[in-house]
């Protein structure tokens, strides 16, 4: 059985030390955020992390992945019998531990991670490195990530059981594209200014003539006068427009002719097809280029 060579109570009783740990986060693209650490003293590396990760808006944390094989014990739910680790535990479950953030699918999670390093344990004789990636997580949309220590869980505890000085809170900006199309579609989407209105998650009726993403009146006309106005203002512009709202009237998501008119006759035909129909069109546009009519 795995032996635990430190008492979990030290997470609460640790005293400040001069040794420092720098914790950073980075946007890896595609909504994935990576959390890394660097210890200033290679002889006194982190033993455990108690961290709060929060987003600044209504976006959510959709998943977490351990990225360091040396830190995988969760002190909050670990089970120890006669000094033996019988259950390495799981991340704090929402609502089960005072002071913990909401958890997956909310805008905040509490992370508790520790190591099982023990020079007398053949399975865990090699301790964590002085620097490395701690974990990664995914977010649902654009946001600012803030990482802070969770004092009730000891913040960051070092190998000698003292609490590390840290650079926390630290933060990073997450920029998540709403576009989920394949590589070819993404190239076209980027070329016209990466318009959010083309994304099915933002405006699932855009490909059917809804340029403004809004319904009109009691009859719920999704394709109506505002959409026609946007189309008229963007009509027959060579190699353009490439900014919103004009590019939102490129309903077939294709250029026309040598002049590459992004808004032209095919787009007008789409708008006319769905003009002034109550509760229509259906929200079924996809993140692809080319007409979906």
Q: Give me the CATH number covering residue 126.
A: 2.60.40
pLDDT score, position 2: 35
Do residue 68 and residue 49 come from a single domain?
yes
Instruction: Tell which of 142, 174, 206 closes a domain.
Output: 174
Mean pLDDT of successive 10-residue stretches along the chain, which has 293 residues: 32 45 91 94 90 92 88 71 64 64 89 85 86 93 92 87 91 88 91 93 95 95 98 96 97 96 98 97 95 88
What is each CA distance from 124 to 71, 116, 135, 156, in whole angstroms?
Answer: 11, 6, 20, 20
Do residue 133 and residue 96 come from a single domain?
yes
Do residue 79 and residue 193 come from a single domain?
no
Question: Is 291 inside any structural domain?
Answer: no
pLDDT score, position 258: 95
Do residue 56 and residue 156 come from a single domain?
yes
* pTM as predicted: 0.62
Question: Is 282 inside any structural domain?
Answer: no
Do residue 118 and residue 151 come from a single domain?
yes
Do residue 142 and residue 247 come from a single domain?
no
Question: Is 214 inside any structural domain?
Answer: yes
Candidates 71, 163, 178, 148; CA nearest to 115 is 71
What is each CA distance from 151 to 45, 101, 148, 163, in whole angstroms?
Answer: 19, 13, 9, 10
pLDDT score, position 140: 85
Question: Is 259 inside any structural domain?
Answer: yes
Instruction: Tell which of 125, 153, 174 closes a domain.
Output: 174
Split into its structural domains, the chain has a count of 2
Do residue 246 and residue 165 come from a single domain?
no
Question: Is 260 inside any structural domain?
Answer: yes
Candidates 37, 36, 33; CA nearest to 55 is 33
Do residue 60 and residue 139 come from a single domain?
yes
Question: Is 285 inside any structural domain?
Answer: no
Structural domain span for residue 37: 2-174
Instruction: Tell which of 147, 174, 201 closes a domain.
Output: 174
Do residue 14 and residue 44 come from a single domain?
yes
Do residue 81 and residue 6 come from a single domain?
yes
Whose tokens are 């998650």? That residue is 201
Question: Is 283 inside any structural domain?
Answer: no
Candidates 60, 215, 67; CA nearest to 141 is 60
Do residue 96 and residue 217 come from a single domain?
no
What whole-number distance in Å separates Cα of residue 69 and Cα of residue 251? Answer: 48
Residue 13 CB neighbour total at 10 angstroms: 11
Do residue 75 and residue 208 come from a single domain?
no
pLDDT score, position 293: 86
């Amino acid at each position: 059985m795995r032996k635990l060579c430190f008492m979990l109570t030290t997470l609460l009783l640790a005293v400040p030390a001069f040794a420092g740990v720098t914790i950073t986060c980075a946007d890896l693209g595609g909504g994935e955020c990576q959390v890394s650490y660097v210890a200033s003293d290679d002889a006194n590396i982190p033993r455990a992390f108690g961290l709060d990760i929060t987003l600044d808006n209504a976006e959510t944390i959709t998943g977490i992945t351990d990225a360091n094989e040396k830190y995988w014990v969760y002190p909050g739910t670990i089970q120890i019998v006669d000094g033996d680790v019988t259950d390495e535990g799981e991340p704090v479950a929402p609502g089960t531990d005072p002071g913990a953030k909401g958890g997956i699918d909310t805008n905040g999670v509490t992370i508790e991670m520790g190591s099982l390093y023990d020079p007398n344990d053949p399975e865990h004789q090699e301790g964590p490195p002085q620097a490395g990636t701690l974990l990664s997580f995914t977010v649902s949309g654009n946001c600012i990530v803030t990482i802070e220590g969770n004092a009730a869980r000891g913040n960051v505890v070092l190998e000698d059981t003292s609490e590390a000085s840290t650079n926390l809170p630290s933060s990073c900006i997450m920029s998540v594209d709403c576009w989920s199309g394949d590589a070819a579609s993404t190239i076209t989407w980027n070329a016209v200014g990466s318009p959010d209105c083309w994304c099915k998650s933002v405006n699932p009726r855009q490909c059917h003539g809804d340029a403004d993403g809004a319904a009109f009146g009691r009859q719920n006309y999704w394709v109506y006068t505002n959409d026609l106005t946007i189309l008229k203002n963007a009509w027959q512009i060579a190699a353009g427009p490439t900014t919103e709202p004009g590019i939102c009237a490129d309903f077939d998501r294709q250029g026309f002719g040598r002049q590459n008119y992004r808004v032209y006759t095919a787009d007008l035909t789409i708008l006319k097809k769905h003009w002034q129909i109550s509760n229509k069109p259906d929200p079924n546009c996809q993140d692809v280029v080319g007409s979906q009519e």
